[in-house]
Homo-oligomer: A and B are copies of this chain.
Amino acid sequence: MNMTLSGKLTEDKVMLDRQAIGELYDTSFYGHPRADSLELSLIESAYLMYTEKITVKSAGKELDFKQFFLKASSIAKNFELSYVVYKDLRERGYYLQPSVTGFRVYPRGGHPGKTPAEFFVFVTSERIPLLLSALRKHLDTVENLKKRLVLAIVDEESDITYYEVKKTILSGSCELRLDNSLSVASLLEDRVMVWDSDVSGLLHNKGFFGKPMDEGHLQMSLVESCYLLSKGILGIEQRNHEALDTAEFLRIASDIENDFTIKYKVYEKLRDSGLVPKTGFKFGTHFRVYKDIEDISSLPHSDYLIHAVTHDHVFSLQQLSRAVRLANSVRKEMIYAAVDSRIDFLIIGRMRL
């Protein structure tokens, strides 16, 4: 029978003597071996107290689990969040070690000294807003190390949802082949109407633009119209027949729709990459996006849901959760397009560990 090891709480570490290296590190990779001691983090210590592998003294007095947990949660910010994630991952059979923003997790079957770590797990609470800038910084760090970034979001009832975040490059097979100056359309309240029935047919059937209002007329969204205007494919005039150039159209559209500028940049980038973005309204995102469309009359399911955000965007984790859940429930990938001088596409997907 194993003897319970005894450790000492010192600031935010628990120190055990040399013997613990063999019993806790060499077999199960708990803690950091030092010259002649084993150093455990607060989280590792709480877990080892719960599993009755160690006892911990502070100022000569032995602490019970409750006393240790209360102390630890007043020393370390969000201790209880990290603890439930640590416990969950350990109990799923992963070896992991504390790191600056959460945990370094080894692949199944791997462990320190044998394999490099595979994931960096960033732990947060559903209540803490997540800055896009912080997320991108984590992602850069983690991808530079050739690891994968996992968000562990703990909800108010301590249930954990794991998301993987990664950058992606998107491209599709829909090349635009339309003549220039096809026709002149009218800007109405907040959409554009193409009156010419042949042009309506061409734009819809060959370009996958707009929605036929009836057999002769096509209604198009502001982003679609702006794209065709900027490419010289379509002219657009106001109701009073004044022609609009791209700059004027952009200005008017931005008055109608707050986030028109970033939305349009993403639309343009996607179209230029051979993808067909259509409105994602029914899914609560800017776009649903098709990689390949053969024939508009038998539209396949779309592949991505894409939402444009500015570089200073702050995610509400509740909304992020809803977006990813909805995308996955209709078998699409949820992608955020971070718009800056360049556009980064970030896929966020639920992860089953």
Contact = CB atoms under 8 A, between A and B. Distances in A.
Interface of A: 50, 65-66, 69-70, 73-74, 77-81, 83-84, 87, 125-127, 153, 155-159, 161, 186, 188-191, 193, 195, 210-211, 213-214, 217, 219-224, 239, 256-257, 278-279, 281-285, 317-319, 321-323, 325-326, 329-330
Contact of A189 (B80, B191, B257, B326): B80
B321 A284 contact: yes
Nearest to A126: B281
A276 to B, nearest CB: 12
Given A219-B157, A281-B156, A74 B190 contact: no
Nearest to A316: B284
B322 A80 contact: no
Contact of A284 (B65, B74, B125, B318): B318
B66 A325 contact: no
Q: How many copies does the complex hold?
A: 2
A190 B329 contact: no
B221 A191 contact: no
Contact of A282 (B213, B220, B325): B325
A177 B26 CA distance: 50
A74 B188 CA distance: 8
B221 A190 contact: no
B322 A219 contact: no
Nearest to A51: B214
B155 A279 contact: yes
Contact of A221 (B66, B78, B156): B156
Contacts of A186: 66, 70
A318 B281 contact: yes
Contact of A211 (B74, B158, B191, B217): B158
B84 A190 contact: no
A138 B293 CA distance: 41
7 contacts: A66-B186, A87-B214, A126-B281, A127-B257, A158-B219, A284-B318, A322-B322
